[in-house]
Amino acid sequence: MSSAAAFSYAPLLPTGPDLTEYRLVTDEGVDVVNGPGGRRFLTVDPGALTALTAEAMHDIAHFLRPAHLAQLRSIIDDPAASPNDRFVALDLLRNANIAAGGVLPMCQDTGTAIVMGKRGRHVLTDGTDAEAISRGVYQAYTRLNLRYSQLAPLTMWDERNTGSNLPAQVELYAEDPDGHADAYKFLFMAKGGGSANKSYLYQETKALLNPTRMMQFLEEKLRLIGTAACPPYHLAVVIGGTSAEYALKTAKYASAKYLDALPTQGSMSAHGFRDLELEAEVLELTRNFGIGAQFGGRYFCHDVRVVRLPRHGASCPVAIAVSCSADRQAVAKITPSGVWLERLETDPARYLPDVTDETLETEEVVRVDLNRPMGEIRAELSKYPVKTRLSLTGPLVVARDIAHAKIAERLDAGEPMPQYLRDHAVYYAGPAKTPEGYASGSFGPTTAGRMDAYVEKFQAAGGSMVMLAKGNRSTQVTRSCQAHGGFYLGSIGGPAARLAQDCIKHVEVLEYAELGMEAVWKIEVEDFPAFIVVDDKGNDFFAEVTKPVLTVGRR
């Protein structure tokens, strides 16, 4: 063997200076005390950790970063954006304005609470940091109009909602953040199921590490993300990694802009770095997919982060992750001067354009009366091609995973399809808590693909003839709709607060009240936006835009 290289050390992810704008949450619960050797120590009470966490979870449920809002506005101003791109961007901006009121969260799936902290060596706590942080999560989710999504496994097969959105994912590291021994720094995230489910790991080889193969690989894999996680996305791609789990974790951090200050070139210290050139090329690649901001266009992604990591010679993990239109994260810090949280945008109205809906509409909007018999609704939908924009008014039945499973069990037992699924279109969704004085809590669509396995069975029994949700469907759904005369309508993923305030007029439980947000509901909607995605003739809007077409490599 050759002689060893000289020792050198660099952190795997060396980040630059922190340029975040912070606001003071409190100066209580922190103090500076003298220690041995003339050192000064920052003491942090558990209550300060709880207060910071509760405040952070509130803010990321209701506010967005200014940069994210500016990117939405830029879509509206871009003449190359499609009408559907601009319509989605405007709806998301309106949703941000409603959420900023602090009552309705921006998305009904208020997520798994994820907290990562780095505690400097001169920071003293009582050692119950994870518990104090979890208490802050508990306070936010139980006091605000947020949804409880965490399921406790009671047996291998039986689960029950914890009723508090706990447990949180809390990861704490003993590390001087940014070289400061007397600082405690955090990343707070709320990760909904839709975007979390679009985290991918691929175990590749050295053969991937050339420009042509890399771009072909990325086109194939990125198209598979689809729209179920509510684009436009902040996309992160990580190539390499000392382990598979480290690659995935790095992709999550990168999608949250947490690693933006990484170096932009590598060295023999073997640290990670950003490839800015490849980021620009991948962004342009996504512009040409045709998927756009959910229903055709250029804006599948706002931006792209590509991080290159060191790797074992026999392994080449590739991790892909997205942050969705509910771009929910914020950084924070505790220093001798107090408890500080990233300043998010509390006045998103300044990003709204001076335009009306009519300015953005260049195509016909078809109004569909859901009070009519199902046969008449289907006959009306059959007149129009996929991608047609709709405005729905009337009753919808709401059912998602657990309700579908229970109804499937009834069909298997020889019972008939419930009449409500025969008479009404079904909306795949699950609401957040309803604020006082509102008809509904935030009530956006959930991922349609999770119900794909039920469609043929249900349609054969006369139900689910018109389905409404977000994201693309499998070919078995297209075949079933063609065989049975059904339709799948795509709803805009993301604007759950706007739908609750402007479109949903009444909500009542029809069945399975014990399931909470997973119950079967009946809702009344008015001017509810949707698009025809799969029709009764076997056409699927997403079928074409998910096919790879790249034939050339990286320039």
447: CATH: 3.20.130.10
Average pLDDT value for residue range 207-226: 96
Is 79 exposed, middle or buried (CB count within 10 Å of its CB: 0-12, 13-18, 19+)?
exposed
Residue type, 422: R
Q: Do 117 and 111 form a contact (C-beta atoms < 8 A)?
A: no
- Under the banding of pLDDT at 50, 70 and 90, the label for residue 545 is low
Examine residue 7 and state whether it is found in any structural domain, yes or no.
no
Q: What is the pLDDT of residue 229?
A: 92
Tell me, yes or no, whether 311 and 331 share the same domain: no
Q: Do 418 and 534 form a contact (C-beta atoms < 8 A)?
A: no
Helix H segments across 266-384? 276-287, 357-360, 374-381
Examine residue 541 and state whether it is found in any structural domain, yes or no.
no
Examine residue 547 and state whether it is found in any structural domain, yes or no.
no
Tell me, yes or no, whether 297 and 333 share the same domain: no
Alpha carbons 292 and 335: distance in angstroms, whole number: 42
Average pLDDT value for residue range 325-342: 97
Average pLDDT over the chain, rounded to whole?
A: 93
Tell me, yes or no, whether 17 and 163 share the same domain: yes
Give the count of domains, the chain.
Answer: 3
Examine residue 549 and state whether it is found in any structural domain, yes or no.
no
Tell me, yes or no, whether 343 and 449 share the same domain: no
Tell me, yes or no, whether 130 and 277 share the same domain: no
Alpha carbons 484 and 463: distance in angstroms, whole number: 10
Q: What is the pLDDT of residues 122-161, one digit of tens each?
A: 999 999 999 999 999 999 999 999 999 999 999 999 999 9
Q: Do 395 and 524 form a contact (C-beta atoms < 8 A)?
A: yes
State which of 308, 325, 342 marks the end of a domain.
325
Is 7 exposed, middle or buried (CB count within 10 Å of its CB: 0-12, 13-18, 19+)?
exposed
Tell me, yes or no, whether 173 and 240 share the same domain: no
Cα dihedral: 226, 232, 236, 237 (round 10) = 40
Q: How many CA atoms lie within 13 A of 385 on its CB side?
A: 4
Alpha carbons 224 and 458: distance in angstroms, whole number: 26
SS (H, E, C) 357-385: HHHHCCCCEEEEECCCCHHHHHHHHCCCC
Q: What is the pLDDT of residues 473-499, one digit of tens each?
A: 999 999 999 999 999 999 888 888 999
pLDDT at 553 over 50: no
- Under the banding of pLDDT at 50, 70 and 90, the label for residue 552 is very low
Examine residue 546 and state whether it is found in any structural domain, yes or no.
no
Q: How many CA atoms lie within 13 A of 209 on its CB side?
A: 16
Tell me, yes or no, whether 378 and 526 share the same domain: yes
**Domain span holding position 428:** 362-534
CATH number at residue 270: 3.30.1330
Tell me, yes or no, whether 160 and 187 share the same domain: yes
Structure tokens at 142: 């139980």
Tell me, yes or no, whether 199 and 65 share the same domain: no
pLDDT at 372 over 60: yes
Examine residue 496 and state whether it is found in any structural domain, yes or no.
yes
Whose tokens are 């640290």? That residue is: 271
Q: Assign 393 to helix, strand or coil.
A: strand
Which CA distances in Å does 156 have to 152, 153, 159, 514, 515? 10, 7, 8, 21, 19
Whose tokens are 């260049």? That residue is: 362
Examine residue 553 and state whether it is found in any structural domain, yes or no.
no
Is 380 exposed, middle or buried (CB count within 10 Å of its CB: 0-12, 13-18, 19+)?
middle
Q: What is the pLDDT of residue 554?
A: 40
Q: How many CA atoms lie within 13 A of 271 on its CB side?
A: 19
Q: Read out DSSP for 204-224?
A: E-GGG-SHHHHHHHHHHHHHT
Residue type, 135: R
- Under the banding of pLDDT at 50, 70 and 90, the label for residue 547 is low
Q: Read out DSSP for 55-114?
A: HHHHHHHH-B-HHHHHHHHHHHH-TTS-HHHHHHHHHHHHHHHHHTTSSS-S-S---EEE
Alpha carbons 315 and 304: distance in angstroms, whole number: 24
Tell me, yes or no, whether 44 and 120 share the same domain: yes
Counting residues of the chain whose pLDDT is more than 70, the rounded percentage is 96
Residue type, 35: G
Examine residue 6 and state whether it is found in any structural domain, yes or no.
no
Tell me, yes or no, whether 35 and 114 share the same domain: yes
Tell me, yes or no, whether 311 and 348 share the same domain: no
Q: What is the pLDDT of residues 280-324, one digit of tens each?
A: 999 999 999 999 998 889 999 999 999 999 999 999 999 999 999
Structure tokens at 146: 């947020």
Q: Assign 508 to helix, strand or coil.
A: strand
Cα dihedral: 76, 81, 83, 89 (round 10) = -40
